[in-house]
Amino acid sequence: MTRTVLLFGDSNTHGTMPMPDLGFSGRFGRAERWPGRLRQLLPDWDVIEEGHPGRTTVHDDPVEGAHRNGHSVLPALLESHRPLDLVAVMLGTNDLKERFSVNATDIALSLERLVRVILASGAGPLGGAPGVLLVCPPPIIEAGCLAAMFAGGAAKSRALAGEVQAAAARAGVPFLDAGQVVEVSAIDGIHYGPEANPALARAFAAAITAHFPG
């Protein structure tokens, strides 16, 4: 029986390539980006890609638009794709933008809020709760065309894994630290190079198989 996983993320789930300048909009091909590779590794799962560049956890973005608020769009996505066996959440990178002025603890608490929305949604099979995998994105570096936008974010990002792991424990859901698997590109300090796609797909596949064996 095929099960369904919703990958709820930002540009690094969307497949945005490292940006040499702010006007760049390159995206890895469907089969190359890590969700596409995950689909090949999990043939018994229907893998739904829901990555939106600029998506935050709970913040309306005053520059890039309120529609990038993950908390606002999440209920509609859960309803439109239900029944969902699993939602894998990998957000928090965009919260590191200087304009939001939040620390690692606040980001983790915001992720925990999203997890609790999913668990209370009734969007799982038979109106139950979907499973949740909470994923911490890797630390960022302040480099290239995005350095000013993320000023001060690198130090915060290095504290994020421990905080997100604690949030996952409080919510009772499994945790994956993507920073143990991939690194951001030196080109822009935020996005992943092509070498990250197979590694991240394997890590997600292993975590899903281990925690949600069926």
pLDDT for 91 equals 98
Using 50 as the pLDDT threshold, list the residues of the chain that sit under it. none
Q: What are phi and psi of 106, to 5 degrees?
A: -65, -40
H or E element that contains 45: strand 45-51
H or E element that contains 170: helix 160-171
Q: Which domains does the chain possess?
A: 3-211 (3.40.50.1110)
Determine the straight-line distance between the first and last CA of the chain, rounded to whole angstroms.
Answer: 9
Q: What are phi and psi of 197, to 5 degrees?
A: -60, -50
pLDDT for 1 equals 86
d(CA 28, CA 130): 29
pLDDT for 214 equals 76
pLDDT for 172 equals 98
Condensed to tens digits (0 to 9), the pLDDT of residues 96-131 reads 999 999 999 999 999 999 999 999 999 999 999 999
**What is the pTM for the complete model shown?**
0.97
**Tokens of residue 184, six digits:** 């951001």
